[in-house]
Structure 1
Amino acid sequence: MSGSDLEVADEKGDATASLIGSVGNALQVLLLLQTSSALRVSDVATDLGIARSSAHRTLTLLQQFDFVEQDLSTRTYRRGPALVEIGLAAVNQLPVRRAAYQPIRNLRDVTGETTELCVLDGRDVVVADVAEGLLPLRVVDELGDRMPAHLTAAGKAILAAMPPADVFALFPEEDLETATDRSIDSRALLTSHLDSVRELGYATNLGETGAEYVGVAAAVVDGSGLVRGAVTLALPWARAGDGFATHLGPQARRAAESVGAVL
């Protein structure tokens, strides 16, 4: 092989390495967006161990293809429409979503309240399907919305149906993030709360993610005992009487059981 051939080979190798590095950085950014709702250029640079200029180029490339979009007021980057569409396409293929499609709409028709199917993704729950409430004042959530599991009725219902060791693995630290003064703020409190969920057969959200609404949910468990998600009813706090959970909880549980029976 001549010297010129070696130079060409080296150039091709450098180009390939550069391409792999760029693709790897882009993929790592997408993985960061699994757990972060917004990223700064400095966040990406730190987490990936690359220069700020490289982080900015990666985010700009992802933005060109709508995988991320930038909030001009905060200069942060969040999930773009292309990434959301890919995620929703994957959700649409979930067997539990197909099984729950009619039951959650039946439950919505009976109660008038927004009814959802949520699934666990890491330490978050993700809205996999929504039957919007029939009343003028109602909770409005969208497909793909993500919330911390320990702050939601759906998340707590799912966690209560999991082996305690798996819950501890998800929450190894004692202190937990909060959203309101009603939020569960420690693993010890979460553990105690999950014991109550197991006794009742349903979980509640009493203004723990937002002061304006409440929720009740029951886990969807398949024939093999594997938890596959949760059926949730969400309603405005203004319409939730003192006994809303004892009224709606059993209805959510029956709907969840009907979904699990066909999985």
Structure 2
Amino acid sequence: MSSHVAPGDQVTPGLDRRTELREFLRSRRARLSPEDVGLPSHGRRRVPGLRREEMAQLAGMSYAYYARLEQGYGETMSAEVLDVVARVLCLTEEEHGHLIRLAQPDRQSTPQATPPPQRLRPTVQHLLDALGVPAYVVSRRMDILGWNRLAAAVFGDWGRLPSAERNVARLIFLSSAMRDRFSDPADAALKVAGVLRINAGKSPGDPHLASLIQELSQKSEEFRRLWARHEVSCGSVGDSVRMRHPVVGEFDLVREPMALPGGAPMRLMTFHAEPGSRSEEALRILASWEMEPLR
């Protein structure tokens, strides 16, 4: 199964790492008020958040030095400086890692170049088919590389879609049928945008990923709004997602993502219901239900 950009198609250049770093730092400053970091407030501000000079003061550096970081020149900074900036901005662990990847990509432990065209190993598809829970495999670009029958029953039959449309982000933002499978589609969209953002930080030079982001920005106002927030997330382990299905109604699944070793980055996404719950019964019904295609 191919990525969403067919071979030979014109591909958008990758994302600009310095621009991403600049906008990320600005967005993190904007969400903090002076009171949040122990500074006095001087009345209403024209723009929300900390000013650059306040940020530099809190980080113990000159304004010019911090401004250079926010201009995208993080490769000249020490690891200690980036750690201080992360602490002052109250970054989460995921956001801290995102900052380092954008500022100093050479510090990454493994190469994050553009991955080659991805194919699912037959043994992985056999594993999917053997699992008794909904499961699918996605690439870093969120292309859906393989799935099992129960995943098709829960999310819709991806096999009836053209391969170019089998992408979680495209379906969440551009397919009403996919969105209708989630009880809270806005929350699902927020999480997908966060995963896409952190993956873009890992591979800013990937033109296929940049092309997907450009397409979603052109076609979805919701995506443009969420993308501008610069939220990052690698997908919460063990979080609950409420699904909605025309046959069994609403039910809850626990999401467990796992990295697959070998070759280009892939993640196995599994979903299970709490034992003895109504949701487990809903999955049993869907396991014997004839799959309904996405329309």
| Bigger relative contact order, structure 1 or 2 (CA pairs below 8 A, ≥6 apart) | 2
Q: Which has the higher strand share?
A: 1
Shorter-chain TM-score tier: under 0.3
Q: TM-score, normalised by structure 2?
A: 0.24
Q: TM-score, normalised by structure 1?
A: 0.26
